[in-house]
Amino acid sequence: MKDLIEIRWHGRGGQGAKTAALLLADVAFGTGKYVQGFPEYGPERMGAPITAYNRISDRVIRVHSNIYQPDYVVVVDDTLLDDVDVTKGLKKEGAIIINTEKEPDEILPKLKGYEGSVYVIDARKISVAALGRYFPNTPMLAAIVRVSGIMEEHLFVKEMEHSFGHKFASKPEVIAGNMKALEIALREVRKV
């Protein structure tokens, strides 16, 4: 991993992009990394576009601002490709990960000529299969870990199980479903 990885999340209010960014920070911290995870607040409401950020490093992070030139962008809702310039500032050496069931020829024209790597994952299919409901943030968390190499996948899975264990202590079936979603997503994220 390079000294500092910066990630920008794009989602809609209620889809868990903010929660995913905070969970990623928590899990990375658990593996010994220095982290930041924060949302960009505005007049958010259910369904409105939101942005969240992560910085993850092996060294102390001294910068405290929004991320304008991310290494990675995670798009939790592909309808945002029509409304938001999700590739703005995205480094060509990085990658964009999009939750979609659409074919690449439907997605690529919406990326404004982005020349870096593009990955896709069907987080809806995965979360419905694993959890019985649509929660895209868990599969998207696994996808960013897989694509970025921020941490070793087995450490990620171990830390997520620990985190879910605290969060859903009274609902063990939710823990099992989320763990299954992570494992499927780690296998199914693919480069276009």
pLDDT by residue (tens digit) across 93-130? Answer: 999 999 999 999 999 999 999 999 999 999 999 999 99
Tokens of 121: 């994952």
21-43 burial, b at 16+ Cβ within 10 Å, e below that, comes to bbbbbbbbebeebbbbbbbeeee
Above 90 in pLDDT, residue 144?
yes
Taking the C-alpha atoms of residue 85 and residue 97, their distance in angstroms, rounded to an integer, is 14
Q: Which of 83, 70, 82, 56 is nearest to 145 (CA)?
A: 56
- pLDDT at residue number 40: 85
Determine the Cα angle at 91 with ends 87 and 94, to 5°.
Answer: 100
Q: What does the CA dihedral 149, 151, 154, 158 come to, rounded to 10 degrees?
A: -140
pLDDT band at 1 (very low <50, low <70, confident <90, very high): low
Question: Residue 87 carries which DSSP code?
Answer: T
- pLDDT at residue number 92: 95
What is the reported pTM?
Answer: 0.93
103-119 burial, b at 16+ Cβ within 10 Å, e below that, comes to eeeebeebbeebebebb
* β-strand pairing of 4-12 with 49-57: antiparallel
Tokens of 78: 């592909």
Q: Which of 35, 25, 30 is nearest to 4 (CA)?
A: 35
Question: Residue 108 carries which DSSP code?
Answer: G
Amino acid 53 reads: Y
Above 60 in pLDDT, residue 174?
yes
Q: What percent of the chain has pLDDT over 90?
A: 81
* β-strand pairing of 49-57 with 34-40: antiparallel
Residue-wise pLDDT tens digits, 153-166: 999 999 999 888 88
